[in-house]
């Protein structure tokens, strides 16, 4: 039997809960997501936390660069009230809290953007050897350093450039697990080349059901979505499951 497409919840179920919070991650699992995508930043005192932006401004009630703040200061921020009053009091989670929550059952896709985040992830993983982790980045030199430091770590190359074959070649050189392209770059040719090289391919970020159908029919192994409930309904429909 062919494997079912893999649903990555982009920053959790961020269509219905504040992104990159435990509330969004729990909602994603309840909606039927297979894995959680999240972003890692590092505080001034070296603690990895889960936040997309370098600054708190957009998704909390506080301001400032995460790198310039201590964990205690970051934890004072409300990361839920901006989304809806019912989420007021949600905090920026630490990566350790997410590892504790996920255990060895929930797969996590950690996007990293700099060396500090990469180092913090590797350091924390030593204490969570059973964690199911895929580390992704746009920064290919950073991924190369990660590969040298952790030969068995699952990696994914993020791609947002029109000339995507270079990213594909880099994924092969890295012995990466996946190529994660922007959805408009994906097509049957990319799918075929990835399949030949035993690379999974997960386009991002897809919320429109028609786009989901197109990606799956062209050979995507799954996709990233803000709305895993809609994706699960789609995969349960006969016109997709029967393809």
Q: What pLDDT, in 10s, does the model give residues 55-109?
A: 999 999 999 999 999 999 999 999 999 999 999 999 999 999 999 999 999 999 9
Q: Structurally, how many domains does the chain consist of?
A: 1
Whole-number pLDDT of residue 219: 97
Active-site positions read 10, 52
> Per DSSP, what are the bridge partners of residue 181?
159
CATH of the domain at 87: 3.20.20.190
Average pLDDT, stretch 123-151?
97
What does the pLDDT look like over 174-188, one tens digit per residue?
A: 999 999 999 999 999
d(CA 224, CA 236): 17
Cis, bond preceding 18 (omega within 30 deg of 0): no
Q: What is the pTM of this model?
A: 0.95
Percentage of residues in the chain with pLDDT exceeding 90?
95
Domain presence at residue 174: yes
Domain presence at residue 1: no
Q: Which domain holds residue 23?
A: 6-241
Is it the case that residue 240 has pLDDT exceeding 80?
no
Is it the case that residue 241 has pLDDT exceeding 50?
no
Largest CA distance in the chain: 51
């Amino acid at each position: 039997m062919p494997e079912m497409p893999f649903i990555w919840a982009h920053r959790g179920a961020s269509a219905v809960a504040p992104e990159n919070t435990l509330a969004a991650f729990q909602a994603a699992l309840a909606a039927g997501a297979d894995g959680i995508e999240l972003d890692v930043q590092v505080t001034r005192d070296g603690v990895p936390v889960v936040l997309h932006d370098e600054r708190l401004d957009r998704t909390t009630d506080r301001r400032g660069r995460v790198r310039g703040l201590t964990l205690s200061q970051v934890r004072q921020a409300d990361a839920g009230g901006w989304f809806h009053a019912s989420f007021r009091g949600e905090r920026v989670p630490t990566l350790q809290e997410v590892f504790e929550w996920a255990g060895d059952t929930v797969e996590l896709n950690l996007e990293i953007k700099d060396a500090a985040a990469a180092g913090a992830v590797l350091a924390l993983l030593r204490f969570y050897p059973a964690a199911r982790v895929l580390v992704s980045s746009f920064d290919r030199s950073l991924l190369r350093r990660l590969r040298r430091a952790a030969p068995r770590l699952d990696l994914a190359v993020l791609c947002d450039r029109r000339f995507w074959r270079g990213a594909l070649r880099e994924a092969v050189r890295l012995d990466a697990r996946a190529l994660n392209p922007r959805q408009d770059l994906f097509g049957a040719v990319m799918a075929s080349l990835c399949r030949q090289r035993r690379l999974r391919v997960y386009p991002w970020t897809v919320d429109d059901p028609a786009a989901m159908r197109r990606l799956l029919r062209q050979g995507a192994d799954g996709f990233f979505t803000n709305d895993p409930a809609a994706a699960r309904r789609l995969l349960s429909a006969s016109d997709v499951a029967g393809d």
